[in-house]
Amino acid sequence: MASIVKISSADICQSDGSVILQNIGLEIGEGEFIYLIGKTGSGKTSLLKTLYAALPLDTGNGEVAGFNLKSVNRKNVHLLRRKLGIVFQDFNLLTDRSVEENLHFVLRATGWTDQAEMETRVEEVLNEVGLQGKRNSMPFELSGGEQQRVVIARALLNKPPLILADEPTGNLDPETSDDVLTLLRNLAKQHNTAVLCATHDYRILQNFPARIIRVMNGNLIDDDN
């Protein structure tokens, strides 16, 4: 199984430069589904931000989807992010644009130019997340679960080998959370996409068991070891 993420001897820093995780290692293979768990403020989000190059990796080595994190800069970061799907807790949808326009915005930002191809891809991802009839809806017209499905559709647009999900069920009720987790896991299997899902919802860990990596005391602890 090829590695999608390979981090070694790395320090993970917060936005103010202070080290929150020290000398960590992490390896994620193709198609793996992994939970990243830990208390609020333990470093989960900082780790995810480092993986999608919103925070720099200054110490140690890191490779994500074939990109050396130390050589990612403003000019080429969009190339790395084409290889990633990012799912946020608070959706981060453009509230003044329809579902379709939200998805088109991301396609254009990641280099798509052919209008017909963009239309086809939007239709495909909306079908995958069960929102076929919602392309003209505005975000405020959708339930929380539907908005998160749009976010997952957005994450799938470029067929990424890795999805990073930061508390994807944090704003959802238990039933809707289960629906979103089922969707993410099924999509991971269908496309052999790796998923790293940061969460503190221990209920979903019991309902949907998978490999667990714990963030504790500035370290990563892999339950498999």
Helices (DSSP H) in the chain: which residue ranges?
A: 44-51, 77-82, 99-109, 115-128, 144-156, 174-191, 202-207
CA geometry: angle 91, 96, 101, nearest 5 deg: 80
How far is Cα of residue 9 from the mean position of the Cα atoms in its chain?
A: 23
Q: Give me the pLDDT at residue 99, please.
A: 96
Low-confidence ranges of the chain (pLDDT < 70): 225
DSSP letter for 139, please.
G
Identify the structural domains of the chain with CATH numbers, from first to last.
32-56+77-222 (3.40.50.300)
Q: Give me the pLDDT at residue 65, please.
A: 95
Q: Give me the pLDDT at residue 200, please.
A: 84
Q: Give me the pLDDT at residue 47, please.
A: 96
Q: Give me the pLDDT at residue 192, please.
A: 92
